[in-house]
Amino acid sequence: MNEPEQQWTETIESNHSLFDLKLREVWRYRDLVYMFVMRDFVSSFKQTILGPVWFFINPILTTIVFVVVFGKIAGLSTDGLPQILFYLSGVTLWNYFSTSLTSASSVFTANAGIFGKVYFPRLVMPITIVVSNLMRFGVQFLLFLLAWAFYLFKGAIQPNVWLLATPFLVILMAAFAMGVGMIFSALTTKYRDLQMLLGFGVSLFMYATPVIYPLSALSGIWKKLAFYNPLTGIFECFKYGWMGSGDFSPSMLLVSSGIIFLLLAIGTVVFNKVEKGFMDTV
């Protein structure tokens, strides 16, 4: 006789769907975001002599190197803008983006210990990273404002209304870094060597972004490719708004926004999918 087919009386399944991002739950944990941000800020200066002064030293030294190497030796154009202010603006924006991206790309591997001990929405960590780096960006942006005010007083620059778009530009950079960072964070749970590849790729990406040169210095196919770099519209809009010179059009910012928010959506969904079982592979 054939045995009757067994019927399960109870089935345990995960109710965590792919598109269930639990954003309301993230909002309820906003106090935890604040605690993590303060932790990151304080831990950055433990056992240091100069403390927050390091935030000034980095952009100052980098700007000096860029002025000497790319401005004086290579003779790259700055669209008639003061070299110090041109390079300082690029360095200030790039530092925020690159630091946020590299930190967000190691969320799972860097926080595996705490993830395995206590529950909280995992999206809290990449959000914490982009917010905590905003504090560093604010300090370096203050340095830029001091240099900007000096050249404005000398009449060397002509700012316009586009400088009011700065908060939106910062949000775009944060979203781009967070989106791409979450994608790489999900991938590095299985393929650790992608972390090293990302570090190398970020360094190269700076030369594909108008940090050390203006967009007007490019032509032909290179200019067309640069147009679809999500950071191009951000950097050109920032320089155009604050210094009044640059090859900027609103369509560039529109293209940047579309690409960035698409990558953020993809990154969030991928991050949400991987977080369910990443502890088995980390």
Q: The tokens of 236 are what?
A: 């050109």
Q: For residue 120, name the pLDDT band (cuts at 50, 70, 90).
A: confident
Instruction: Kindly tell me if the per-residue pLDDT of 7 is higher than 80.
Output: no
Instruction: Kindly tell me if the per-residue pLDDT of 241 is higher than 70.
Output: yes
Helix 30-43 crosses helix 124-154 at what angle (to 10 degrees)? 60
Amino acid at 129: I
Distance CA 94, CA 101 (A): 10
The answer to whether 137 and 95 have CB atoms below 8 angstroms apart is yes
Q: The tokens of 139 are what?
A: 């300090």
- Condensed to tens digits (0 to 9), the pLDDT of residues 32-44 reads 888 888 887 777 6
Q: What is the pTM of this model?
A: 0.86
**What's the confidence (pLDDT) of residue 180?**
93
SS3 192: coil
Amino acid at 197: L
**What's the confidence (pLDDT) of residue 44?**
67
SS3 146: helix
Which bin fits 155, alpha (ψ -120 to 50), beta or left (φ > 0)? left
Phi and psi angles of residue 224, each rounded to the nearest 5 degrees, phi first: -65, -40
**What's the confidence (pLDDT) of residue 15?**
53
What average pLDDT does range 232-259 have in this prediction?
Answer: 93
Amino acid at 235: F
In whole angstroms, what separates CA 119 from the centre of its chain?
26
Q: Is 111 exposed, middle or buried (0-12, 13-18, 19+ CB in 10 A)?
A: middle
Average pLDDT, the chain: 84
Phi and psi angles of residue 217, each rounded to the nearest 5 degrees, phi first: -75, -15
Instruction: Give, rounded to a whole angstrom, the gap between the first and last alpha carbons of the chain.
Output: 48
What is the three-state SS of 7-74?
CCCCCCCCCCCCCCCCHHHHHHCHHHHHHHHHHHHHHCCCCCCCHHHHHHHHHHHHHHHHHHHHHHHC
Instruction: Kindly tell me if the per-residue pLDDT of 51 is higher than 70.
Output: no
- Name the range with the highest mean pLDDT among 18-32, 80-94, 181-195: 80-94
